[in-house]
Amino acid sequence: MGKKHPYRPDYGVSPGETISECLSALALDVDGAAFRMGCASGELKGIIAEGTPISPVLAAGLERVLGPPASFWMSLDRRFQAHRQASL
């Protein structure tokens, strides 16, 4: 067999983009999702605009409302934030 090369993408996927896609698939708006998550709509809008990191509490809310587990959201955000820092 040939050499194995680890997968190391040179891009970061914005959690906000994924959240927007999930909201669209569920026919939810940001305000309605934030209400269901128990957070301020400004917090969710900040994440979607790629400015605000996801806290464990927000990740739990995303899990409750959108479905993917909190660990998914935390991991996605961690990789995205690391890519942002490396790009500066």
Predicted pLDDT at 2: 66
Q: Is residue 1 a part of any domain in this protein? A: no
Q: Is residue 72 a part of any domain in this protein? A: yes
Q: What is the pTM of this model?
A: 0.85
Predicted pLDDT at 45: 95
Mean pLDDT computed over 55-84: 95
Residue with tokens 């997968």: 7
Q: Is residue 6 a part of any domain in this protein? A: no
Q: Residue 56: which CATH number?
A: 1.10.260.40
Q: Is residue 50 a part of any domain in this protein? A: yes
Count of domains in the chain? 1
Residue with tokens 């569920």: 26
pLDDT tops 90 at residue 4: no
Q: Is residue 60 a part of any domain in this protein? A: yes
Query: Model confidence over 14-49: pLDDT tens digits?
Result: 999 999 999 999 999 999 999 999 999 999 999 998
Percent of the chain with pLDDT strictly greater than 70: 97
Q: Is residue 56 a part of any domain in this protein? A: yes
Q: Is residue 4 a part of any domain in this protein? A: no
Structural domain boundaries enclosing 59: 15-87
CB-based burial, 10-40: b 16+ in 10 Å, e otherwise: eebebbbebbeebbeeeebebeebbeebebe
pLDDT tops 90 at residue 12: no
